[in-house]
Amino acid sequence: MNLQDKVIIITGASSGIGEAIARELSAAGAKLVITARRQERLQTLADSLPGESALLCAPIEDSSTPGRLLELALERFGRVDAVINNAGIFVAGSVDTMDLDAMSQMVRVNFDAVVRSSYVFGREFKRQGSGAIINVSSIAAYLSSSSVGVYSGLKHALEIFTSNLRVELAKSGVRVGSIAPGTTETEIFDHMRTEGAPVRADQTPPLEAADIAHAVRFMLEQPDRANIAKILLVSAKESV
């Protein structure tokens, strides 16, 4: 796909990986719909992008958000070509310490919202006979360690869901794939450090958000006949 004038939705665009993806795809000529909850951060990003963008400030777990994103893209740009489901949070805790309400919010944001968005855009892409869905999972999908079981489990489920959706939509001209980053220097990563997650010294220096953004662009820029179904992108020092 040549990204010039393509219309791409990016969730979780107010910081970290989502923000880097927005910068990368805008520089490649794409028109963007960016979303997150922090309006000011989104506006600052939109003002600094080289290309056109529209923004929606909304909680991603609100069931109406994916539909609103689709409507905004159609109203502003007349079509939509890809969605990057990137928004996510990290909540860790042991059996004794887990904040169960925060954990449930993570289930809504990291899985339910991604699945809803995948279906809303999957329907639109199937109707138009083209489109790409990229879901951001994590290396955690493949690891087992104490205190991060729910985060890992949700990312694992997301990998399996994404793989099944790829198969379901393969004959419709819709490409579906996932990218699983390793430790990446973002606000979530800072949070992981303070939550005592197993972020180890030998995994540093971690990736930078721009590294993930380059890979997402690479996934999108494949010719129509090629679909990168899965990328596991880790720090060169990652040892798990």
Catalog residues that contact ligand NDP under the rule CB under 6 A. Answer: 12-18, 36-38, 41, 59-61, 86-89, 109, 136, 138, 181, 183-184, 186-189
Name the minimum Å distance from CB 165 to ligand NDP: 17
Which residue, 87 or 169, has its beta carbon nearer to ligand NDP?
Answer: 87
- Secondary structure letter of residue 236 according to DSSP: T
Name the minimum Å distance from CB 60 to ligand NDP: 4
Per the annotation, the verdict on 151 as an active-site residue is: yes
What is the torsional sign of CA 119, 175, 163, 114? negative
Name the minimum Å distance from CB 86 to ligand NDP: 5
Residue 90 main-chain phi, psi, to 5 deg: -125, 120
Sequence-separated (6 or more) residues with CB below 8 Å from residue 150: 91, 98, 103, 106, 107
Q: Which of 111, 151, 161, 189 is catalytic?
A: 151
Query: 144, exposed or middle or buried, with CB in 10 Å at 0-12, 13-18, 19+?
Result: exposed
Q: How far apart are CA 240 and CA 233, in angstroms?
A: 12
Cβ atoms of 13 and 22 within 8 Å: the answer is yes
Which residue, 20 or 174, has its beta carbon nearer to ligand NDP?
Answer: 20
Cβ atoms of 50 and 27 within 8 Å: the answer is yes
Which residue, 147 or 186, has its beta carbon nearer to ligand NDP?
Answer: 186
Name the minimum Å distance from CB 234 to ligand NDP: 9
Which residue, 87 or 148, has its beta carbon nearer to ligand NDP?
Answer: 87
Which residue, 43 or 130, has its beta carbon nearer to ligand NDP?
Answer: 43
Name the minimum Å distance from CB 36 to ligand NDP: 3
**Count of CB atoms situated within 10 Å of the CB of 192:** 19
Catalytic site residues?
151
